[in-house]
Amino acid sequence: MLTDLKRAVLLTISAPIKPGSVHRLMGDADFERRLLEYVAVEPHLEEAYRRGRALGEGKLSAQELGLGGVLARALKDSFESSGETPLVGLWSAAVTAAAMVGYSSASNVKVYESLRTLITRILYSSLPDDVIDLVEGIGDSGDVDLLEHLSRRNLTENYVKSNGLSLGDAFELLSEVDRGFSINLKGYEWLLGLIRLYEGLRSPLAGVVRVYLAVASELSKSPELLDLSKRHEIDPSQPLQGPAPARSACLLLAPCPSYRPPPGGAQRRRTPGASARSPRRP
């Protein structure tokens, strides 16, 4: 099951042609950088899987899972591998999905059929310290958009601890900017809808493109892209025209990122001190 997840993540970043997103036919080095990020994140997928499996076997409690730390290390390593702001939503969703796959493999439950239970068990049973670790990992990734959003929502260390926030709560806030964090109870029905879109096509490649078009049509309000996403047959090699969504939309079982490079292709590096312990102020 973990191997299938890894294949799905690689397919997500390589599937052609997704307007405004990463794909293997890009003319610059961005696709290669995203592959480097994947290589850096892969060990953390395995760690999340092992921890999720230990939780399913009863060897760890939900509070001992430590998913926030795994997410933080994955984001930090992905930034260091490419030197640019990574696909934060994609890698966060992939690590979270790996923990769910590990739990389901030990518990003998199907991810699709038990998705709500898995989300609750893995994300909403976590500790405030997991949230603080995640936000620090976002700081290490240099994603200014997400950091400023959390700052506007006053997600400080004191607020997180005093309100007992979980990773599920943090994912809900982050999904307002990056749809990669839609693995949460508020995004549950939307997520299931995308998974259904993914099914029924002849190839996983076409499924990824269909989901991408559906998300792109929603974020860009494009009826043309919505019409394409509803087709029974999709040719993933066909060049697709249309506006691209602003942020990534990588989701469990049907992930699909949308990467928006910084203006002029400049690298977006971490702002010193931008973390949950010393938040940026707008």
| Structure confidence by residue, pLDDT tens digits, 27-82 | 666 778 889 999 999 999 999 999 999 999 999 999 999 999 999 999 999 999 98
Distance CA 86, CA 83 (A): 8
Element (H, E) at 179: none
> Quick one: average pLDDT of 158-172?
96
Query: Per the structure block, which two tokens stand in for 94?
Result: 């992939």
For residue 252, is pLDDT > 60? no
> Quick one: average pLDDT of 152-177?
95
CA angle 262/172/113 to nearest 5° reads: 115
DSSP H helices, 113-203, are: 115-122, 128-141, 144-152, 157-162, 167-174, 188-198
Look-up: residue for tokens 């269909």?
210
Confidence at 121, pLDDT banded by 50, 70, 90 = very high
Beta carbons of 250 and 87 less than 8 angstroms apart: yes
Cα–Cα distances in angstroms (integers) from residue 21 to residues 145, 150, 259, in the given order: 17, 24, 5
Distance CA 255, CA 207 (A): 10
Query: Per the structure block, which two tokens stand in for 62?
Result: 């939900």
Beta carbons of 186 and 177 less than 8 angstroms apart: no
Distance of CA 263 to the CA centre of its chain: 22
